[in-house]
Amino acid sequence: MRDWKKDAIVYQVLPDRFNLGNGKTVFQKKEEGYYSLPKQKVKSWEERPLASIDGSHQYDFWGGDLIGIVEKLDYIKELGANTVYLNPVFWAHTNHKYDTIDYFAIDPDLGTEEDFVALIESAHAMGIRVVLDGVFNHAGIAGRWFNGLEIFDEPGAFQGNERLMEYFIRGEKGFRGWMNSGNLVELNLENPDLAEIIFKGEESVLRHWLNMGIDGWRLDVAYDLGPEILKEIVERTRFARPDSCVIGEIWNYPGSWPERSGLDGLMNYYFRLIIWEALNGFVSGKDAVNIINDAVRDAGLEFLSKSWTVLSSHDVPRLKNELGSIDRIKAALILQYCLPGVPLIYYGEELGMEGGNDPENRAPMKWEHTSQEIETLNLYKALNTIRSSKPSLRSGDFKPLVSSDHSLISFKRTTGIVDDLLVCIVNPTEKNVRSRVFLQEGFLMNGTEMKDTIAGKAFSASFGTISIDLHPYEALILEPVISRSNADYSPYKRV
């Protein structure tokens, strides 16, 4: 039985920057009373986000909303993605919405609960699953429990409400902020009343949105929640929706997390680092594959196959800023799709969008680029088609391959059936490389054509090996061309 958590191709959406629905402009929405909290300002869709010394850029809004996402589901479907991961949609003060005001309310600037239901139902009707960002380690100072902006009548922790003060972690300097932020107050999840509200109770935040139809959670800063709380969140999520997924934001080495946390997988930035190190010449291709193989051994293929392999996101620069040339980007993407794990596409990468560190990497979607011939858009579509049709990429075994030139990254994915064999070979250097790769596949018959699934380049298997010449940063996904026609001789007739 197929597992959607392995079959997923994730498209990440930052709601405020993706699409503005109903044909409105953000200025019209402002006139209608939206973006009314202190410091909130609106920007034209053509403007680019820029960092500010005082952090005021967090209160700049471009107007994207839930209806805007509904209107673009067909675009996501056509791209080949089958899962949408939404950055936070709960009521919050900032544009990134990691400073929750009310966990049970959709942010009014993004839409209504009815809009959210329409998004879930429309996505499901198209075969697209929806995963929400769960920000349970901390809440905003403007939130209902802290009430730092005094927008609620009931006194909060800020006003000295002793019951609500117990919802937050306090240290020697007062209430403790996540990463010492003054806006993100850490929640005391050991408080039984708060735990009941967030994840334990039948009417908890966790259950509320699962009951609304979401397909799982991506847990923000899961490393801060700790293994025990993660296990309980996973157990209670499974109880509410047995087929749901729980992915943790964990920037660490993936080993030990499967057994200690119970998570389905993590946001796999570790593979991103290894890919970057190889493409920048800091580790050889051979060492890169061995490092990855160690992670597969320590974390397990099952766990990594459900983890989301992240090359870019709202937290790191975009591919064009990190890698520059299309050849280097193509090499990185082929590795993202061929290594164990679920590929995550950060909105706009397929259109070649640029952006450095936050907030530059969170620019409004460049919809005008969809009418152009863009190489990355075609590449993403091709890779999504390949992944969807190849079981070895979704759940197959991973095995490093020996190359006579150790600068190459070479490995195979296989289900044990020769027809499903895929061989990934990448030249991460700026030099031409000639090498022999040892495929170690017993039923790959001598003389079998090994054809690149992207560009069609072909090689002939000779005694279980192939000889290749690769241009700088060239990347291949090779599959055997196997015929069992009755009309012609085939060495595969009984295989």
Q: Where in the sequence numbering do the catalytic residues fall?
A: 220, 249
Distance CA 372, CA 353 (A): 13
Handedness of CA 18, 21, 25, 28 (dihedral sign): negative
Of 182, 40, 178, 202, give the one whose Cα is nearest residue 107. Answer: 40
What residues have CB less than 8 Å from 66, skipping those under 6 apart?
15, 21, 89, 106, 110, 111, 115, 116, 118, 119
Of 218, 10, 214, give the one whose Cα is nearest residue 117. Answer: 214
Give me the DSSP letters along 198-211: IIISTTSHHHHHHH
Of 66, 50, 59, 56, give the one whose Cα is nearest residue 13. Answer: 66
How far CA 361 is from CA of 14, 91, 268, in Å, comes to 11, 22, 19
How far CA 3 is from CA of 78, 244, 402, in Å, comes to 22, 11, 31
Q: Report yes or no: 266 and 307 within 8 Å, Cβ to Cβ.
A: yes
Q: Report yes or no: 133 and 87 within 8 Å, Cβ to Cβ.
A: yes
Distance CA 293, CA 298 (A): 9
Burial class (CB in 10 A: 0-12, 13-18, 19+), 351: middle
Structure-block tokens of residue 1? 């039985």
Q: Report yes or no: 406 and 413 within 8 Å, Cβ to Cβ.
A: no
